[in-house]
Structure 1
Amino acid sequence: MRAVVRDSYGTADVLRVAEVPKPTPKAGEVLVQVEAAGLDRGAWHLMTGKPYLLRLVFGVRRPKNPVLGRELAGRVVALGEGVTKFAEGDEVFGIGEGAFAQYAVARADKLALKPAGLGFAEAAVVGISGTTALQALRDAGKVQAGQKVLITGASGGVGTFAVQLAKAFGAEVTGTASTPKLALVQKLGADHVLDYTHEDFADGTRQFDLIIDMAGTPTIKRLRRALTATGTAVIAGGEGGDALSGGTDRQLRAQLLSLFVRQRLTGLLAKENAADLKVLAELIDAGKVLPSIDSVVPLEGVPQAIVDLVDGLVSGKIAVDVS
């Protein structure tokens, strides 16, 4: 089968499209014929092997799985031992291993039936980004109807879902984005938009009950300045920081400080599960959430797509057409 692979960690130059063996599902897994895959920021981390702590799970010297990609949508073609919730031919979406390929294995508890109203490309970009946004708002942020919510990085892969989900939960939503991307954030339903190249959300003129920080760059001091006295900040974006731990140090410092102040400062470790995929599918079927796709690229376009994503040239998500 054709797949996007790399033999070592590095820049996009290490990626190539090659023929590799079709994987075999183990107990609790299914084999999916991938129609489309989603490109999330995690693909860059797994390509570069940074932060280095990731390598303890995915391979210390070189990747355990040479095939890149985790978000996917496609059809079930084989079932591993013990899998009863799916049948061959089911159209599914969710999270697997080696999604930038014609076939990929996925744990059954990380898949759900594809929403009928979505094409494969749209469904493919939901798995990681959608569940991250949902858990940031509902679980970590404990969002309530009527709250004033700020989404930083609102035009990004997770941010575009977070804006729509916050509106679905009944919040008054403000989103930050760069000038060219403000129109998208407004289209997604944000009540207010801030151009971060000209406006500072922490200038003291506004305060929020809840901040979902997907931008990954605001200091804890700035986040606190923009919160109400008892507001909550969820630091979901983890970019920056050192090569060992990435941006997780900012989350840890925020949680430590939260022990001594009235404001609630917390991080997010998203959990991949089918239950939240089903919640997202229901919201999609109800018309409250719609994946925002910047472009669709073939397997050969993945290296450049990753470069564009890291350079900030992407609005929403990039889908990979595998079929």
Structure 2
Amino acid sequence: MDPNHGGIEAPFILGIVERAILRVPRSSHHGLTKVPTATRIAGRTYLDLARLENIDARQLPEVVLAARLCHLAHTHRAMVIIGQCALWAHGDPSDPPLPPITVASSSPSAPIRLPAVTVGTHRFPSVTIKPRHVCRLPSAENVGDLFLETPQSAQVTIARTSPNPRSAFVQLCMIGHEFTHFDNFHLTNSRLNEKYWKTLLRAQLAGLGKSARGRAQARWMITHADAGCASPGEARVLYELRAAGLTGIRTQVEVHTRGRRYFIDCAFPAEKVGIEFDGRAKYGDDARSIHSSLARERERQRRLEAEGWHIIRVGWHDLDHPGELIAQIRAALAARVG
């Protein structure tokens, strides 16, 4: 991502931070008086703030995380950065967007405490990292001197170990959407890309062996994740449908009506029941754009209904009570069958 267009991805920040890292020999700490812009990260690792180009205060949390990862890579070379932290470093969607540091080691390791960091008026609290002891390190690659779990392996790690299956499922769908460059107007190629993505994940999972913790949970997520979900809300709706055991579901179902082409977020084509997620962002940021978007949505719904579709609109508030939503959808499906 171009930093001049309002956002900086983690790999770009890591590259900047790596060039700004100073590692000071034990006997030379006094030499830092010649570098007044140096701030201590941990141990003998410092960051020269003057070398941080194209960085402002909004990116400081990411800068400190990147600097801490660089310190760990230098002082604990046998460890691999895993899970959400690895996805963040690769530039993939992570949850949370700024994840805690997670590492794995093939030998038992004591917790690692990193001190608080102060950058100007910003203070970042100390953190304690508890390395995960594994018999075999996950698939990893060297990226800018960081040993990162590969993106596919990290996705499987999250699918296996997440205590929040809903969140992990949504994240997997969003990663799949980006990985496949999913395009409604090129559905065949998008679905082929999705098949390839899932093949990579299944291969990673199979390589862990049948005794891997959370294997069944990961297998379910890989099977049911859908790259056609274009937003977290759509992915969350799909999760509730899949978890309820409903079948015959497809995403981005194409419908032609009166010279128009529409794509229904999630649908049961056999029963012609569609579920559309209404996220706040889709309607715009001002009164005029919101009014215009709502008018288009009403016209869209009328056209779909004229083609025999029953459309159920879902918002985030409906997902607070998934049982009620599933009951509504089951009733709609039963009415169509009857």
Asked if these proteins are the same fold (TM beyond 0.5), I'd say no
Give the TM-score taking structure 1 as reference length. Answer: 0.30
Larger-Rg structure: 2
Report the structure, 1 or 2, having the larger helix content.
2
Report the structure, 1 or 2, having the larger strand content.
1
Higher RCO (C-alpha under 8 Å, 6+ residues apart): 1
